[in-house]
Chain A
Amino acid sequence: MGGLSKKSFLIKGLVADPKQASLIVDSGNLLFKTDTLASDNPETEKISAAGVIQATRAMGGTLAGVGTRDLAAGPSFLQQHQGPPAFTWISLNIVDPTTQKPLFTPVLRRQAGEVKIVVLALTDHTAFGTKPDTFQVLNWRDILPDALAKAQQDADFTLLLSNYSFEENKEIARSCDAIDLILQSGHAVGNMTPILINKTLISQTETRGKYLGVMDIDWNGHGRWSEGSASQQTSEKVRQQSTYTNRFIALKPSIPNEAEVEALLRKTQEMIDKQKGQSR
């Protein structure tokens, strides 16, 4: 089947060293190709999406930001397919239109080795042509600054999963000093090597599961980033900065398929075929 089973093979290799703390992150638009389900056979898309979530969990993924396309089957579909703490959908700005309360986990805390990471996610509020009935997406300007001030407490590293465009993310980075890293979704134009805006790195991978991003970080506290591993740094001033190395790994056909995820994908494909047969 390829794709997710090759991704799983790579991830299991990357997390194999117990001394290397790691966190697997999906920044959004994991499940559907478009913002709405295909009218001819929406059930097959839901079966496929459920298979993607199962595969993501099997390879060690525990969280994902909610992108606009993840909402193609409605918020209830995502709520049915999560089970915190095993897997959590995160969005700070999707709220119930009546109560204004978040429909998903707004802020999530994770530990990677010694580093306390706080993860926030934003869904692009500008992407909805018609106002949805079942949810409302707030403008980040109205909600992010206060949420960051609270989230930062007792956290070493602040990660934002953002479904906004690069232009919007640059504005977020310039106006919110506290964010250390923004991982984008929804506006991909290929792999984007990390770009430093103010104190924030911004990065993303190519679409459709073609690449995996790997960022190795030597965290020395909020405020200053420098590219290259800590061991490569020579001057004392640079050694005091946080450093990173980033690479994008192509999911080439030659990469082996990981057995557990491969079996899950075969089962999902069988269910899709059966559903297609029933709907003919």
Chain B
Amino acid sequence: MNNRRGKNRLIHLLALLALPILATFAGRTVEAAAFRLIYSNDNLGELAGCG
């Protein structure tokens, strides 16, 4: 009887410890990954246009 109660407590304790860890990793597929987009549009065939 006592043994079973001890096992249940251990499972609850492990679950409590695991939840925050799982929650942390669930939202972190990509975390603040840095990249640069270099973009332009409407060149309209210009070979030599300048600002």
Using a CB–CB distance below 8 Å, which chain A residues touch chain B?
1-4, 6-7, 11, 14-15, 20-33, 45, 48-49, 51-52, 55, 67, 69, 112-115, 117, 156, 159, 181, 183-186, 188, 203-221, 230, 250-253, 265, 268-269
Residues of A contacting B22 with CB < 8 Å? none
CB pair A265 B47 closer than 8 Å: yes
CB pair B51 A26 closer than 8 Å: no
Closest Cβ–Cβ distance, residue A1 to chain B (whole Å): 5
CB pair B42 A216 closer than 8 Å: no
Query: How many residues of chain B are within 8 Å of chain A by beta carbon?
Result: 24
Known contacts A3-B46, A33-B45, A251-B49, A205 near B39 by CB under 8 Å: yes
Which chain B residue lies CB-closest to A17? B36
Residues of A contacting B38 with CB < 8 Å? 11, 14-15, 22-25, 212-214
CB pair A250 B32 closer than 8 Å: no
CB pair B33 A215 closer than 8 Å: no
Known contacts A156-B30, A208-B42, A219 near B35 by CB under 8 Å: yes
Closest Cβ–Cβ distance, residue B20 to chain A (whole Å): 16
Bound-state CA distance A113–B47 (Å) is 31
Bound-state CA distance A219–B36 (Å) is 10
Closest 3 CB pairs of A and B: A250-B51, A185-B41, A112-B35
B8-49 CB contact bits vs A (8 Å, 1 = yes)? Answer: 000000000000000000010111111111111111111111
CB pair B36 A156 closer than 8 Å: no
Using a CB–CB distance below 8 Å, which chain B residues touch chain A?
27, 29-51
- Taking chain B's interface residues, is the majority helix, strand, or loop, or is none over half, making it mixed? loop
CB pair A221 B39 closer than 8 Å: no
CB pair A217 B35 closer than 8 Å: yes
CB pair A209 B49 closer than 8 Å: yes
Bound-state CA distance A28–B50 (Å) is 18
CB pair B36 A115 closer than 8 Å: no
Which chain B residue lies CB-closest to A22? B36
Closest Cβ–Cβ distance, residue B38 to chain A (whole Å): 5
Of A14, A205, A265, A269, which is within 8 A of B36 by CB? A14
CB pair A217 B30 closer than 8 Å: no
Bound-state CA distance A216–B42 (Å) is 21
CB pair A215 B45 closer than 8 Å: no
CB pair A221 B41 closer than 8 Å: no
CB pair B51 A210 closer than 8 Å: yes
